Amino acid sequence: MKKLILLAVVMALIGMAAAQENAKEGLKEEVKAEKQSPRLLSAYKLEFVLRELQDNKLINTREYAMIVQEGFGPANVKIGSKIPARNPQGDLSYMDVGTNIQCWDLRAQPPRLGLNCTVEISNFALPEQKLQSGVTSPPVLNQIRMNVPPMLEEGKQVTIGSVDDPNSTKRYEIALTATKVK
């Protein structure tokens, strides 16, 4: 009887050892499969709408679009002019005047996604400055700059920022829509 119990215990231990070995092999195969076929990273088309209002009436709308992919560096839309200006030492340098939108760190967790955006808009404080051809003194610029980490819902437009111009009755609103690229 003792031999029969001993034999049963030995058989049970051998069975458990074999099961552990099979489990280890299965885990190794899963890890190997994950490394060979990583998760597909999502890409989104970001559509920005910049609305310019004066006395609460829409006077101008501009639209910008870019593609941002999860796991990749920043995406940029930059449009405007490089304006020559002399620095205090008398050297000629250039200032960017226009619109610059940069987005990075896309985190997709459908149907929501998060990212970081910087939106910068600059223009001449006095419209006649942009017509000057001489580079005598630096122009006076208006600038709006927003750093926003919006949480978006795919396909829905969200106002990610709005700001009043302190020198006029103008207001700027920036809206964003994200659509998954298929």
140/78: higher pLDDT: 78
Give the domain extent around 172.
43-180
Query: Could you tell me if 128 and 100 lie in one domain?
Result: yes
Query: Could you tell me if 111 and 149 lie in one domain?
Result: yes
Query: What six digits make up the tokens of 26?
Result: 């299965």
Closest to 48 measured CA to CA, from 142, 168, 150, 124: 150
Q: pLDDT tier at 2 (50, 70, 90 boundaries)?
A: low
DSSP, residue by residue, 122-170? EEESSGGGGG--S-SSPPPEEEEEEEE--EEETT--EEEEEEE-TTSSE
Query: What six digits make up the tokens of 133?
Result: 């051809």
Query: Could you tell me if 110 and 51 lie in one domain?
Result: yes
Q: What is the pLDDT of residues 161-172, one digit of tens each?
A: 999 988 789 999
Query: Could you tell me if 101 and 22 lie in one domain?
Result: no
Query: In this model, does residue 149 exceed pLDDT 60?
Result: yes
Query: Could you tell me if 85 and 31 lie in one domain?
Result: no
Query: Could you tell me if 136 and 164 lie in one domain?
Result: yes
19/92: higher pLDDT: 92
What percentage of the chain has pLDDT greater than the value 90? Answer: 45
* Segment 13-26 mean pLDDT: 61
Query: Could you tell me if 34 and 69 lie in one domain?
Result: no
Query: Could you tell me if 25 and 64 lie in one domain?
Result: no
Amino acid identity at 138: P
Q: pLDDT tier at 131 (50, 70, 90 boundaries)?
A: low
Element (H, E) at 99: strand 92-109
Give CA–CA dist 181/67, Å, rounded. Answer: 8
Count of structural domains, the chain:
2
Query: Could you tell me if 112 and 81 lie in one domain?
Result: yes
